[in-house]
Structure 1
Amino acid sequence: MKINDQEPLQTYFANESRYEQMPYRRCGRSGLLLPAISLGLWHNFGHNSDFKNARIILRDAFDLGITHFDLANNYGPPYGSAEETFGRIMKKDFENYRDELIISTKAGWDMWPGPYGNFGSKKYLIASLDQSLKRMGLEYVDIFYHHRPDPDTPLEETMGALDQIVRQGKALYVGISQYSAEDTLKASQILKEMGTPCLIHQPRYNMLERWVENGLLDTIENQGIGAIAFSPLGQGILTDKYLNGIPEDSRIAKDGRYLKKETISDELIFKVKALNKIAKGRNQSLAQMAIAWLLKDPRVTSVLIGVSKASQLKENVSAINNIKFNEEEIKAIEEILLYSAS
């Protein structure tokens, strides 16, 4: 259904064929299937974003078979506002589809002032999830993550909080994000002993950031944990956006908090242009190829994308139509990624 931006949105009825094109992958050794593409609400769902556009993106995502919406307590800006926006849209459009959705949120980064609004204490994690549930108008989330490792809080306390959250019925599953292979193994073993297995790990992973290949992917496979890769496009670097300079409407130009101009080196542009040439040979955009490159590994359950408009969503989801790479393509991509001008 094409929507005129000048008109109010009509009552939402989901596309009846929404499950026909999206592949679903088993999350580790659990009973849960996740869509190959999931939607993250890190950007473009805060109070400074267009609410109608946010509704269109979520509607289109579900119509394309994306059943997993990923949030965190401090997504916005301001903190908490993405969850508030999602809660409003949930009530307007998705209340009747709750049992078809996987909704996740996280806590671990700074959220409120004082000693109890950050990192990994039981005090913080349980209070944060209670606040998140209120903002979203939900009785429970499907997945609750510890958002980052805490070097000072014992893993037993943090994992104990996750176990308690599941036993209280506030989350169905729990996961971790950005943990090292060593800490992932420890966390998994602690949770197994408690009877609440770790469902999923959410690492930053893309063609240019491959730290997870140094042990983490093997660990999650051995432990029966799923993986969902965030920042698959490197905050936009792995698209055609920066091939000819920095556009005025790009995230770098508008918001330098996460991606800075100095990161766009000549060597990086050389690599991106070379990758773009391979993508064209595959009849894909560079963004589609970058997503497909992650999905070629069966240990990656889902790829978490973020978009600012529905057209980007549809383009990225089309990556699922071609996730196979021949040996020549893999070799060429590896040579590009290993290239150094120095």
Structure 2
Amino acid sequence: MTRLQELLNIDHPIIQAPMAGVQGSALAVAVSNAGGLGSLPCAMLAPEAMQKELAAIRAQTERPYNVNFFCHTPPAPDERREAGWRDALSPYYRELGIDPAGIPAGPGRRPFSAEAAELLETYRPPVVSFHFGLPSDELLARVRRWGAKVLASATTVDEGRWLAQRGVDVVIAQGVEAGGHRGMFLSDDLTTQVGTLALVRQLVKALDCPVVAAGGIADAQGVAAALALGAAGVQVGTAYLLCPEATTSAVHRRALKSEAARHTALTNLFTGRPARGIVNRLMRELQPMCPAAPAFPLATSAIAPLRAKAEAADSGDFSPLWSGQDASGCREIGASLLTRELARGCG
């Protein structure tokens, strides 16, 4: 039994990565009931929706589960930058018959807040994880008061040490192979980002707390490799995207099953922050990292109507097709079966 299993009271050292926008409680419940740690992403949930999902988890499992939040500082709106961003997207608005004047501005993602902490206290989830650093000391103390274990993502050794100094229970080593948003928070320099195996090895040497490997782990062999380098467990996201319990869109599912899934890149086009996804038309034509995109998460609102219009026509040209560098583990099987198959790599 690994330190992670003992700490979190789980049968398998497998954490299902929280994936906002492509899952709800159903995926988390299936993974937790299979002996792993299911995760509920809360960054895109309004309080009412969060409460509904938490109630669903409580009703369907007695096993430990994780709730995940972002910890970004919302940027001040920049009208000039927003206007420049919409100007860059104007050819696509014309092509799809969208009036940009009718597109409302919106945050797109919510950071952890006192309101969220108050709601969570009712349910007392056993594990709470954070992306983009940690919340304030006051909010973190509220989470700890009900006995929750705290997990947080690090993309560099410096970030891992920063988190450990603040007492997190588990550091998630997010390698550059991972799909979705980079958890980087001490620097926005993408040249600091390293591969999963290199990062895991360095963090295991640098920290006393358990380290979880995340990024590029698609099957039992990948699990075994991470554990062999000293990881106490793994976090897997992309492999779960084709499971029936996931809410992955039809265009996203098709992309994951296609040859296109072999070409991913880090892009800020969809939210304003680097995130790994399958390269599509928008990324090819505007370049994956575009300086015109507003700061996270303000880029989202201008893209939303393009995505909706294209997906209605069965196109993923303007969709964030999040995926890690290895989508080979994506299979249309139940999340519980996938969890057990991944666990075979634990020896």
Higher relative contact order (CA 8 A, sep 6+): 2
The normalised TM-score by structure 1 is 0.45
The normalised TM-score by structure 2 is 0.45
